[in-house]
Structure 1
Amino acid sequence: MLLGHTRDPLWPAPEQALLDARRFLEEQKGRRVLVAPHTDVDGLTSGVLMLRALEAVGARPLARVPGKGEHAHSPAFQDRLRVGAWDSLVVLDMGSRAAPIVPDLPTLVVDHHLSDTFPPGARVLTANGHEPIANSSLLTYVLVSPLVVPGPLEWLAVMGTVADLGADAPMPFLKDALKRAGRKAVTESVALLNAARRSARFPVPVALEVLLRAGKASDISEGHVPGVDVLRDCRLEVQHEVARCAKTPPRFAGKVALLLISSEAQVHPLVAVRWAQRLPEHIVIVANAGYLPGRVNFAMRSRAPVDLIAWLKDLDLPPLEGEYANGHARATGGSLSQADFLRFIEAAGFRGLRTFDVERRGAFPG
């Protein structure tokens, strides 16, 4: 059986929701459709699957990816989405909020993150709440399978699933699908593609082009398509930055550990994972003052049985400027102004930090 293809009417999302979303896609024949995927492997593979499906129904799709630190509700990205004459918009793997993305543009949102708010008027397909919660590329694959020849595209959903949930995720038929795609090729390709969004250079459009050119995972892992050399350079850069930043000594406040780093690369989640393994009973916060000018981007991980989003909300802070308490219960983070980050981290138990402690310095990899 192909990955995720079951007869369960409630999985990976309710059957009616899948039918409604599929009808939206079928209605795009002859129309110009903007596809906006998240920049990680799950998002990019979702994007390629969606592009292939829209092409199959006769639409004229084009992908546009967010920039560094952006998402579907970032004003700068929304401004770029408005450029051009589009008939509709498909947003993939970028969460959901109760605000329009591009007003008056028919929109389909495909996602799996925890949310109970959605853009007004948008058609929404979410896997959240339907266990085991499917990642976005798997959800997209099930959605578009009746519109394409699904077998040759299965490897894309496999890669997105492994990237988001791991090779042992409890997804129907993942073991066999991973064997067909080639486990070694998939894991190598995931590492290369993810390096693009983590690199300070942020060549995510190159990663998307690599996926569009490839016909299987080994085309990427073995460098058979143009652009893989760029991804390999990105991976070396990220490995260097993780090794450098992971040497930072943590500060402690009870069962919370804080590491303050500065890098233009998006290495704070990787450093957080590494330190969560070293400190399995702690909540680990890695704060990166170098990723975006004037902001502190932070990642939170823990091996302890704690809902990190609930933990953040229990701090009972006033509204903060930026990203906060979004994502997954076991993997979250945010992006705050320096002042708001200091308010947050003081509420978490770390008193006495100053703006100087969260200023960018020595940020560029090298």
Structure 2
Amino acid sequence: MAIGTGERVAVAAPEVRPAASLQRARRALQAFLEGVPAEAQHVLLCHSDADGLASGVLLRRALERMGRPLLHLLPMGKGETAWSLSVLERVQALQPAALFVLDLGSRPKPIFPGVPTLLIDHHRPLGVPPGGRLISSYKWQPVLCTAALVYWLAVALVDVTDLDWLAAIGIIGDLTEHATLEPLPQARARYGPRVLHETTALVNAARCSASGDASPALAALLAAREPADIAHCRVPEARELGELRQAFDQALKQARRTQPLLSDRVALIRVRSPYQIHPALAHIWCERLSDYVVLIGNEGYLPGRVSFSLCTRSDVDLLTFLQAFRQSLDATEFGYGHDKATGGTLSADDWKSLLAMLGFRNDARPGQR
């Protein structure tokens, strides 16, 4: 039974390995903040899924409570990354004194030279932007998703225990509702598992929509005081999220009818939809084809490009698997993320090349290769 109100019991931070990793990360955050005046402009970039949005709202609330009032939180739009020109133009207009990059990976490419930049992330880092600093839980055991990482960093500097539900939906979004990482168990007992599940699904619905606009989800998270405000549509923005979720579910239902093409180790499904159905479809087929690398190509998500998702339950490391193809493709947005779930976008010509290297004909349909 959910508690919902009453005295909040303190929960110990997770014990991560290597030893003292969390303590070092907390010192790194504090040192970064000490170099940024409290009255300066702070710009926060975040991924548009539940983990990214939750981490962004968590850090924004934490910085507010530390007496840093000038804060701008920008979620990524459809097909955008922290390195996209459209994002950098929005950042430039805000004239930041400090830049925080949350749940968007880490690459050696510059983001916004001359501005102190802190990346907080849990994906495999491919490098760090020149002059930037990275706090990463990728090599920790257990790995903390970005929302959980931000929560356990911030809680040492300011009281954010009332925001445990934000960390919880980030954990559910990235690690599933069966995860045991705190503060999910505490939040589950306090708010109820069904409320947290529903909230996570609604928050994710915005980025998966045909527009890919995460602003309704961000507005709902900023307006809500607890997850039930979203799950039970107590905030107006949640009703829009419900409509977006229904439209996405219908698009996914139609796409699930498409059968895969099988090669020695890859199962290929090709779809055409403006909705971000390819990650969800990849996870669905991973459960059915656990010995395969599942590749979903969505040829209708971004104009002139093919967006794809890979997922596997096998022993294949997907980031290493994709590395073999990098030299032959324009791999600017290719193979970032997790060892067992990743993706990217390719031009139509590069997509054809990738299929050929995997042994598929470009015009192949179920029953063919």
TM-score (norm 2): 0.91
Q: Work out the percentage of aligned pairs sharing the same amino acid.
A: 35
1:22 corresponds to which of 30, 42, 49: 30
> Does the Cα contact within 8 Å between 1:307 and 1:330 map onto a contact in 2?
yes
Residue aligning to 2:286: 276
One-letter amino acid of the counterpart of residue 287, structure 2: Q
> Residues of 1 paired with 2:252 and 2:40: CA distance?
44
> Does the Cα contact within 8 Å between 1:93 and 1:110 map onto a contact in 2?
yes
One-letter amino acid of the counterpart of residue 46, structure 1: S
Task: Compute the displacement of 1:315 (Å).
Answer: 4.4
SS at match of 1:64: strand
Aligned pair in 2 of structure 1 residues 3, 201: CA closer, same or farther (>3 Å)? farther
One-letter amino acid of the counterpart of residue 24, structure 1: F
> Residues of 2 paired with 1:7 and 1:138: CA distance?
13
- Greater CA drift, 51-60 or 38-47: 51-60
Aligned pair in 2 of structure 1 residues 190, 3: CA closer, same or farther (>3 Å)? farther
2:55 corresponds to which of 25, 30, 46: 46
- 1:1-366 matches, within 5 Å, as 2=10, 5-6=13-14, 10=18, 13-26=21-34, 27-59=36-68, 60-172=70-182, 174-315=184-325, 317-350=327-360, 352-353=361-362
Residue aligning to 2:6: none
SS at match of 2:300: coil
> Does the Cα contact within 8 Å between 2:329 and 2:350 map onto a contact in 1?
no
> Does the Cα contact within 8 Å between 2:83 and 2:111 map onto a contact in 1?
yes
Task: Compute the displacement of 1:6 (Å).
Answer: 4.2
Task: Compute the displacement of 1:146 (Å).
Answer: 2.8
> Does the Cα contact within 8 Å between 2:78 and 2:213 map onto a contact in 1?
no
5+ residue gaps, structure 1: 358-366
Residue aligning to 1:362: none
One-letter amino acid of the counterpart of residue 47, structure 2: H
Task: Compute the displacement of 1:172 (Å).
Answer: 4.2
Task: Compute the displacement of 1:237 (Å).
Answer: 0.7
One-letter amino acid of the counterpart of residue 329, structure 1: D
5+ residue gaps, structure 2: 1-8
Alignment RMSD = 2.0
- Greater CA drift, 111-120 or 76-85: 76-85
SS at match of 1:142: helix
- Greater CA drift, 1-10 or 111-120: 1-10
> Residues of 2 paired with 1:123 and 1:229: CA distance?
39
SS at match of 1:334: strand
> Residues of 2 paired with 1:116 and 1:203: CA distance?
27
1:252-292: CA deviation from partner (whole Å, max 9, x where unpaired): 22231111110000001111112222222221111000000
- Greater CA drift, 130-139 or 57-66: 57-66
Deviating runs (4+, > 6 A) in structure 1? none
> Residues of 2 paired with 1:331 and 1:15: CA distance?
29
Task: Compute the displacement of 1:203 (Å).
Answer: 3.1
Aligned length: 355
One-letter amino acid of the counterpart of residue 21, structure 1: L
Aligned pair in 2 of structure 1 residues 126, 249: CA closer, same or farther (>3 Å)? same
